[in-house]
Amino acid sequence: MVTTTEEAPALARLGVRPRLRDYLRSLWDRREFALAIPRAELQAQHRHTALGGLWHLLDPLISVGIWWLLFGVILNVTRGLDNVVGFLAIGVFVFHFTQKSVRQGARAIVSNEGLLRSISFPRAILPISVVLAEFLSLGYALSAMFAVVLLTGEEPSWTWLLLAPMVFFQFLFNTGLAMAVARLGDHFRDIAQMASYGVRVWGMLSGVFYPVANRLGNRPELLAIMEFNPGYLFMELPRRAILNNAAPTAQEWVTLMVWSVAMLVFGFIFFVRRENQYGRG
């Protein structure tokens, strides 16, 4: 009854979880799509304003000014720092990358139900493109940061180039984290809110607005724990590389790498395990 010819592909069952290798290949095949989503979003963002795309640069610059006023002048928690503005700019921009990745990642599945119900593609593209969007806006923010740092009298050094691998590892970490919260956010809608507060507290504890070493100077055991906190390393290492021209130690590189790869692998596997259930509502 069923006539099968040699060259025709066989009937395959739909909705089964794909093999990991096939899944990774299909992700790679769709890489242009994964990039097109954040690009479109960025293009659309400031469309209606007079200054348009310039806002991508103006927004972080103005923010730095506000934080400097608040934390550097009014609250004065950055005592003893040479370059308060540079310190704040690096910390806030870099941590914002993680914070926004989590916040948007938690909504990546939930807010795309229509898309999930009409087009088939590897679902991991959604959290990945969320992180890519934040990565692109980090690019603008870091350009603003370099302008601020140069204007405040820092001398360029080769250690500035280390920012690239640091941000790359943070990108891997954020992608894993975004995939994990995307699945959680699909299951419990409240995770989107909770994760957002959680990440802010984590940022505060890791020293977004103040030098951690100053606060923990008399608590060496806490400072030692801090050395293994990825949030702390994400901010501390670029600050040292740019403001003090100091490269991270081998231990710090290894910690950064282990965290990033572990989070990426965990988040990916955790996310893909429910691949066929997303969009069900």
Partner 1 sequence: MDVVDTTYVAPTVGGPKISEGLVTVLADHVHVRYRVYEDVKHTLRSLVAAAGRKRRYREIHAINDVSFEAHAGEVIGIIGPNGSGKSTLMQAVSGLLPVNEGAIYARATPMLLGVGAVLNKTLSGRRNILLGGLALGLTKKQVLKREKQIIEFAGIEDAIDRPMKTYSSGMSARLQFAISAAVKPEILIIDEALAVGDRDFKRKSRNRIEQLRESAGTVFLVTHSMQDVRRSCTRTIWLDNGKLKMDGAPEDVIAAYEDTDEKRDQRLQRTKRKAERALQQLAELDEEEAAAVVESTAGETDSRGA
Site of interaction with partner 1 (CB under 8 A) = 1-5, 8-17, 19-20, 29-30, 32-33, 36-37, 40-41, 43-44, 47-48, 112, 114-121, 187-190, 276-277, 279-280
Q: What is the identity of the amino acid at 40?
A: A
Residue with tokens 């941000």: 167
Structure tokens at 258: 């282990």
Nearer to partner 1, 119 or 250 (CB): 119
User: Which of residues 34 and 88 has its CB atom nearest to partner 1 in the complex?
Assistant: 34
d(CA 13, CA 28): 23
User: Least distance in Å: CB of 127 to partner 1?
Assistant: 16
Residue with tokens 């806002």: 55
Of 79 and 189, which CB lies nearer to partner 1 in the complex structure? 189
Q: In sequence order, which residues have a C-beta less than 8 Å from that of residue 232 and are 6 or more positions away?
A: 206, 207, 212, 226
Query: CA 128, CA 195: separation in Å to the nearest integer?
Result: 17
Query: Residue 78 CB, nearest distance to partner 1 (Å)?
Result: 37
* C-alpha span between 163 and 172 (Å, rounded): 14
Specify the residue, 190 or 227, whose C-beta has the smaller distance to partner 1: 190
In this structure, how many other beta carbons lie within 10 angstroms of the beta carbon of residue 131? 30
State in angstroms the smallest separation of the CB of 80 from partner 1. 43
Q: Output the smallest distance, CB 274 to partner 1, in A.
A: 10
* Token code pair at residue 4: 């099968």
Q: How far is the CB of 2 from partner 1 (least distance, A)?
A: 5
User: What are 236's two structure tokens?
Assistant: 């501390």
Q: Output the furthest CA–CA distance in the chain (Å, rounded).
A: 84
Question: Which residue lies nearer to partner 1 by CB, 118 or 218?
Answer: 118
Token digits of residue 268: 């990916």
- Residue 19 or 153: the one with the smaller Cβ distance to partner 1 is 19
Give the tokens for residue 244. 């003090």
Smallest gap from residue 100 Cβ to partner 1 (A)? 19
- Min dist CB 30 to partner 1, Å, is 7
What's the CA gap between 227 and 248, in Å, rounded? Answer: 11
- Select 43 or 244, whichever has its Cβ closest to partner 1: 43
Using CB atoms within 10 A of its CB, is residue 195 exposed (0-12), middle (13-18) or buried (19+)? Answer: buried
CB 160 to partner 1: min, Å:
33
Give the residue with the Cβ less far from partner 1, 121 or 146.
121
Tokens of 154: 């820092």
- The closest of 278, 224, 231 to 99, measured between CA atoms, is 231
